[in-house]
Structure 1
Amino acid sequence: MRNLSILIFLFLSLIFFSCSFESSTQRPRVQGHRGCRGIYPENTLPAFQKAIELGVNTLEMDVVISKDHQVVLSHEPFFNHEISLTPEGKIISEGAEKSHNLYQMSYEEIKKYDVGKKNHPRFPEQINFAVEKPLLGDVFEMVERVCTENNIKEPEYNIEIKRVPQQDGVYHPDVNTYADLVVTEINRYGKNDKVILQSFDIETLKVLKKKYPQFRLALLVENSRSIADNINELGFIPWAYSPDYVYLNKHVFDFAKKNNVKIIPWTVNKVDDIKKVMEYPVYSIISDYPDRVIELIATKY
């Protein structure tokens, strides 16, 4: 299905570029997906530091909650078999990975696992080394230090809340507690104006809109429904609409322009796809290879 979606995207792109508007003159911003997953182990301090060195505008990341209510960087609420080793250095099978549930572990237990030494099967160019899952606060502190030491502007943070309604109480707390814990940590470090909060979960975004209206919110989308239908389900106009890049089309940008919504596609990795997406008036591009995006932007603008 994924390959079919990409073929449809390429076909529609040819039609769109020939009959809609001229190539975009807007210089897109660059977001390092999970730091820079194609280069360094995902959602780790070295990956975020490398992304800063490359020159990203935004660090994209995922957060989950530990048993002791710490905000931990992780794409899954368990130790993914593709990237994880037990504290004893043993391989975690795909069938057993969900039993390594971060919400049932304290952070002291979580940081004993390694998430960087395994060769990633889908990112063969990734440099591997021993590393643990950090806390969100660890990321804020590292970024501040690196930017201060190098006299560079601090990037923004695009933080995904990974809530799945059916998993409340099993892999994460209820929606209000989840949102509160994440926002409390952001407030602790004074990052409100530098943070975008994103989620696929409609209820999470509604809670954030009601309780914490100061934040920019992004609706993540992985379906072929229209942008109008997806936002209608959300119930309000978000700051950004963030679809899988294969679902970009003229209607998305017409709606976005009319309603002043930023478009932030993910996860754009191949050079040809990056070039095509750069033809659209996107606000930002999320990529596992932010170096590729930065290099291509430099050749165009």
Structure 2
Amino acid sequence: MKKAGWLGIFLLSLGCLQPPARKAIPLPAVDNEGHRGCRGLLPENSIAAMLYALDLGVTTLEMDVVISADGQVLLSHEPFFNAQISSHPDGRFVDTAEARTLNIYQMNYADIRQYDVGNRQHPAFPQQRVQPAIKPLLADVIDSVEQYALATGRPLPFYNIETKTSPATDDVFHPRPAPFVKQLLDVVNDKKVGPRTIIQSFDFRTLREVHRHYPKVRTSVLIDAHDHRSMKRQIRDLGFVPDIYSPNFQLVTTELVETCHARGMKVVAWTANNRAIINRLKQMGVDGIISDYPDLLTRKK
């Protein structure tokens, strides 16, 4: 084989040098994403928040998932019961000292669903309406959303699902990346929403698992404001070019957006809760915005 041929194979093997493969269903041209449904308005990661976000016109529902002791995939930002929003089955508030002992990975879902996470208003969101809520199964969320969208004549949304994993807490608060991703994608594939699913994470390991074993599922790399690596270095460390580059909104510049677009990545900024910031992000050319107040994204004025 000619040297150029070997070079081509070598470059192809470095996924970071190739744009992401095309997926079956195009992403929205302007992606309005409801953060944890609509955390600023209803209890986070609840079915009610997801349905209300649809009413507000979101195109993508953003959510977080964890795994229970009996292998159930459910919505939760933390792998335990957050003391700011959680109540025991008997109504007592979960306090900070005990929160991490209520480890979802060590609890069966029958017990998890007895805890309320909606009757205590999140202190950071004074507009949030309190109402009873549990940590729902991902399967139940998808069923409810799909049925509601069809019943109300709304377009079927995309699902932007964050894997809540970290090397420091493997086998303590969650499975390792391989079984975590398999359990998650088993639900996604069973519900037949893979073409409308994005898997996002700060943990590059889970994104690599998705890219390796589920190449048709979109990936989104989450970038924290404290990550001082260059975008080029981040993508090199990831090992492939994801479909979406998703930075904290403070990191977004016109140059960053143009560079991402040149490499075949869309840019989805998080989490913008101010109209002036949202307008500035749009002017810089981002492809999507995640907000706790998705009504700010969809209202014309």
Q: Give me the TM-score of the superposition, normalised by structure 1.
A: 0.88
The Cα of 1:281 is off from its aligned counterpart by: 1.0
Indicate the residue corresponding to 2:250 in structure 1.
246
Q: Are residues 1:66 and 2:68 paired? A: yes
Q: Are residues 1:117 and 2:124 paired? A: no
Cα distance in 1 between the residues matched to 2:240 and 2:72: 30
- Secondary structure of 1:99's partner? coil
Indicate the residue corresponding to 1:276 in structure 2.
280
After TM superposition, the structure 1 = structure 2 runs for residues 227-266 of structure 1, keeping only pairs within 5 Å, are 227-266=231-270
The Cα of 1:88 is off from its aligned counterpart by: 1.3
Cα distance in 2 between the residues matched to 1:259 and 1:225: 17
Is the 1:263–1:284 contact (alpha carbons within 8 Å) kept by the matching residues of 2?
yes
Indicate the residue corresponding to 1:53 in structure 2.
55
Indicate the residue corresponding to 2:134 in structure 1.
132
- Secondary structure of 1:63's partner? strand
After TM superposition, the structure 1 = structure 2 runs for residues 202-217 of structure 1, keeping only pairs within 5 Å, are 202-217=204-219
Cα distance in 1 between the residues matched to 2:228 and 2:178: 29
Is the 2:254–2:284 contact (alpha carbons within 8 Å) kept by the matching residues of 1?
no
> For residue 96 of structure 1, what is the amino acid of its counterpart?
E
Seq. identity, %: 40
> Which one of the candidate residues 151, 164, 167 is aligned to 1:165?
167
Q: Are residues 1:286 and 2:290 paired? A: yes
Q: Which runs of 4+ in 1 moved over 6 A?
A: none
> Which one of the candidate residues 76, 79, 85 is aligned to 2:78?
76
Cα distance in 1 between the residues matched to 2:214 and 2:163: 14
Cα distance in 1 between the residues matched to 2:108 and 2:177: 20
> For residue 175 of structure 1, what is the amino acid of its counterpart?
P
Bigger mean CA deviation after superposition, 64-73 or 205-214: 205-214
> For residue 44 of structure 2, what is the amino acid of its counterpart?
E
Indicate the residue corresponding to 1:7 in structure 2.
none
Is the 1:228–1:255 contact (alpha carbons within 8 Å) kept by the matching residues of 2?
no
Q: Give me the TM-score of the superposition, normalised by structure 2.
A: 0.88
Once the two structures are superposed, what CA deviation does each residue of 1:250-286 show, in whole Å capped at 9, x if it has no partner? Answer: 4412321211110000000012211211111111110
Is the 2:254–2:285 contact (alpha carbons within 8 Å) kept by the matching residues of 1?
no
The Cα of 1:29 is off from its aligned counterpart by: 1.8
Is the 1:226–1:252 contact (alpha carbons within 8 Å) kept by the matching residues of 2?
no
Indicate the residue corresponding to 1:179 in structure 2.
181
Cα distance in 1 between the residues matched to 2:254 and 2:285: 10
> For residue 130 of structure 1, what is the amino acid of its counterpart?
P
Segments of structure 1 that go 5 or more residues without pairing to the other structure are 1-25
Is the 2:33–2:290 contact (alpha carbons within 8 Å) kept by the matching residues of 1?
yes
Cα distance in 1 between the residues matched to 2:264 and 2:84: 39
Indicate the residue corresponding to 2:198 in structure 1.
196
The Cα of 1:174 is off from its aligned counterpart by: 1.3
Flag the 1:100–1:137 CA change in 2: closer, same or farther, 3 A. same
Indicate the residue corresponding to 1:18 in structure 2.
none
Cα distance in 1 between the residues matched to 2:251 and 2:146: 35
- Secondary structure of 1:41's partner? coil
Is the 2:160–2:199 contact (alpha carbons within 8 Å) kept by the matching residues of 1?
yes
Once the two structures are superposed, what CA deviation does each residue of 1:35-64 show, in whole Å capped at 9, x if it has no partner? Answer: 000000000000000000111000000000
The Cα of 1:244 is off from its aligned counterpart by: 0.4
The Cα of 1:231 is off from its aligned counterpart by: 1.0
Q: Are residues 1:38 and 2:35 paired? A: no
Q: Number of aligned pairs?
A: 272
The Cα of 1:179 is off from its aligned counterpart by: 0.4
Once the two structures are superposed, what CA deviation does each residue of 1:196-253 show, in whole Å capped at 9, x if it has no partner? Answer: 1101001111111111111110000102332112111101110000000001124412
Segments of structure 2 that go 5 or more residues without pairing to the other structure are 1-27
- Secondary structure of 2:87's partner? coil
